[in-house]
Amino acid sequence: MSSQKPLPPSLNQPHVDAYPKPPFERQKQPFPGLASKMVPVPDHGETSYQGSSRLEGRKALVTGGDSGIGRAVAIAFAREGADVAINYLPEEEPDAREVVDLLRSEGRKIIAIPGDLRDEQFCQRLVKEAAEQLGGLDLLVNNAGRQQFCNSIKDLTTEAFDATFKTNVYAMFWITKAALDYLPRGSSVINTTSVQAFLPSENLLDYSQTKASIVAFTKSLAKQLAPDGIRVNAVAPGPYWTVLQTSGGQPQEKVEKFGEQAPLGRPGQPAEIAALYVAFASPESSYSSGQVWCSDGGTGTL
C-alpha cells in the first residue's frame, strides 16, 4: 500500500510520480513518425537533465538521436561536456532540428548526419564524417531501431523482416566495425537492446529477435575488445514513451494503455534512462563491460 507521504524538500523533480500515466489518446503516425506530434510529447530531458562534466572532452556518435532514447542520450552527453553527432532518417528532420537547435543554443557542438542505416556504405560514411567533424570518436551509441508489430508470422513479409534486421542488427555491426578505426583505448560502445530480448511479445517476432541478437553481440564483442581497452555494454529499456510505439510499434489499443502493466503504472520517459548511458560512458564504470542494464518500471526483467 502506498504511504502517499509528501516528498522531502531535497527531492527535486522529476520523480516517479512526475510523468503521465495511461490512458493515452489514440495516435497513429506513419513510420518513422515524429515525437513532436505525440500526445503527450515525451520528455527527453530538455529542461530536466542537469550535467556535471562527467564526459568533458568526449566525442560521441548517437544513432537515432532525433527523438526518443537517442535524443535523451544526445542531450545528456552534451550537457555532460561531450561533443555529439546524431544520425536519423531524413523524414525525421523536424525532430532532429529541435535537438540540434537546443544544444547549439547552449554552446555545445552537435553534428547532424541524416541517412538510412540499412545502407552499409552510408554507415561507413556516417562514422567517417562524425569522426572528422568531431575531431575524433570515443563514444558510440548504437540506438536507432525499427519496430513494427505483426500479429502472425504468416503476415510477416521477408521485406519487413529484412528491414528490421538491417536497421537493428546489420547497422550496429557495420557502424561498430567502421568505428574501430577511430576508437582509442578507454572508449565505450553502448548498444540499445530491449526487455523484448528476454520477454518477447507475440506480435514483435522480428523485433524481439534483433534485440536478443544485440545482447549476444554486446557480450561477445566485449570479450573481443577487452585487450584493446574498449568497453562494450547495453541498455535494455522496458516500455518507454517514444514515437517508435505510436508509428506502428504497437497497435493503437495497446498505445492507449502503454506502460500500464509496469509496477510503476506508466511508461518511462526517455529522460529517465539517459543516465544509464552516461554511467556506461563515464570512466567511473571502467570495470563494467559485457553488461546489460535494464530499466523497466519495476518489473525486474533482469
Say if pTM beats, i.e. exceeds, 0.85: yes
The pLDDT of residue 17 is: 84
Closest residue by Cα to residue 38 from 48, 28, 23: 28
The pLDDT of residue 163 is: 98
Counting as low any pLDDT under 70, the low residues of the chain are 1-15
Q: Which domains does the chain have, with CATH numbers?
A: 55-295 (3.40.50.720)
The pLDDT of residue 14 is: 56
The pLDDT of residue 16 is: 76
The pLDDT of residue 13 is: 52
Tens digits of per-residue pLDDT, 184-238? 999 999 999 999 999 999 999 999 999 999 999 999 999 999 999 999 999 999 9
The pLDDT of residue 302 is: 80
Active site residues: 207
Phi, psi of 94 (to 5 degrees): -60, -40
Largest Cα span, the chain: 56
CA distance 156 to 85: 34
Distance of CA 48 to the CA centre of its chain: 18
Phi, psi of 243 (to 5 degrees): -65, -15
